[in-house]
């Protein structure tokens, strides 16, 4: 696997493969890779001539500076995982190059980004949409792989591509969970043993009732602080805090009602 750090090196690599008519799959991540990320990688390698993964803990999407400071960054382990998964290129963007404009230019969506995650994390989706647009413009992939785990994010990115006539095809991949139903997340590594056990109840309780209020009561009885649980277009989306760790999940309501 080749590691690229500069925008110029990415541009010349993309040019090389485009002129050779090779299809490019792209998987943007913030690292601390787990089986969820690797499933996206697998979809990409199975369906494209070359796969590029990026790792960039994008500061502009963090509304909480402590969350940014504590975000796990096991780069060496990530590199080993990507090599084992036959990834061709790893792009490690540098903040100064990516935000040469000082983040003066931002993508803002004014509807769906203002509810759910957007309501609780001011500025979050501006950061997400801006970084995805920048990376996608550089890489110009045929296919971009996103996880359904971040349902609102995936929908906003899909709609942004439509709004700005971006040709890249978006592939939304199913949420990978552990054997107890907990959605895999880089932030899970920050949970203590007890907190991990508790976090496994989230998915279970989300499916336990049609009544959201009764779910909230059950979770809060367990000391799980609920930021929101809301049904939206056939899905139930939730954000909770366990200790200092914020976790999100979403499920298809039709699966259990």
Chain contacts with ligand AMP (rule: CB under 6 A) = 29-30, 36-37, 39-40, 146-147, 149-150, 173, 175-176, 183-186
Q: Quick check: helix, strand or coil at residue 211?
A: coil
**How near is the Cβ of 136 to ligand AMP at its closest, in Å?**
13
| Cα dihedral 38/41/45/48 (nearest 10) | 170
Which CB sits closer to ligand AMP, 113 or 185?
185
Phi, psi of 165 (to 5 degrees): 55, 45
Cα–Cα distances (Å) from 124 to 86, 119, 130, in that order, read 32, 9, 10
**How near is the Cβ of 119 to ligand AMP at its closest, in Å?**
19
Which CB sits closer to ligand AMP, 48 or 185?
185
Q: How far apart are CA 22 and CA 229, in angstroms?
A: 43
Distance of CA 22 to the CA centre of its chain: 26
**How near is the Cβ of 138 to ligand AMP at its closest, in Å?**
17
Asked if 253 and 231 count as a contact pair (C-beta separation under 8 A), the reply is yes
Q: Is 120 designated active site?
A: no
Q: Which of 15, 34, 37, 120 is catalytic?
A: 37
235-242 and 245-252 beta bridge pairing: antiparallel
Q: How far apart are CA 156 and CA 254, in angstroms?
A: 22
**How near is the Cβ of 173 to ligand AMP at its closest, in Å?**
6
Which CB sits closer to ligand AMP, 190 or 216?
190
Q: Give the single-character DSSP code of 13.
A: H
**How near is the Cβ of 157 to ligand AMP at its closest, in Å?**
9
Asked if 95 and 59 count as a contact pair (C-beta separation under 8 A), the reply is yes
Which CB sits closer to ligand AMP, 25 or 147?
147
- Encoding tokens for residue 240? 């909770």
Which CB sits closer to ligand AMP, 37 or 246?
37
Active site residues: 37
């Amino acid at each position: 696997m080749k590691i690229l750090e500069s925008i110029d090196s990415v541009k010349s690599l993309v040019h090389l493969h485009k002129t050779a008519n090779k299809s490019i799959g792209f998987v943007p991540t913030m690292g601390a890779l787990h089986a969820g990320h690797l499933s996206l990688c697998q979809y990409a390698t199975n369906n494209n001539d070359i796969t590029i993964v990026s790792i960039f803990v994008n500061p502009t999407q963090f509304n909480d500076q402590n969350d940014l400071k504590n975000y796990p960054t096991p780069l060496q382990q990530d590199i080993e995982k990507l090599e084992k998964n036959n990834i061709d290129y790893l792009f490690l963007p540098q903040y100064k190059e990516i935000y040469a404009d000082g983040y003066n230019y931002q993508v803002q969506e004014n509807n769906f980004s203002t509810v759910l995650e957007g309501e609780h994390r001011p500025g979050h989706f501006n950061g997400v949409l801006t970084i995805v647009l920048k990376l996608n413009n550089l890489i110009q992939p045929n296919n971009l792989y996103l996880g359904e785990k971040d349902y609102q994010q995936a929908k906003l990115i899909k709609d942004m591509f439509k709004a700005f006539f971006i040709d890249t095809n978006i592939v939304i991949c199913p949420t990978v969970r552990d054997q107890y139903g907990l959605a895999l997340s880089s932030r899970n590594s920050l949970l203590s043993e007890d907190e991990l056990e508790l976090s496994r109840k989230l998915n279970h309780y989300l499916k336990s009732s049609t009544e959201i209020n009764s779910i909230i009561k059950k979770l809060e009885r367990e000391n799980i602080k609920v930021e929101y649980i809301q049904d939206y277009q056939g899905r139930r989306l939730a954000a909770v805090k366990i200790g200092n760790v914020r976790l999100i999940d979403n499920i298809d309501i039709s699966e259990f009602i």
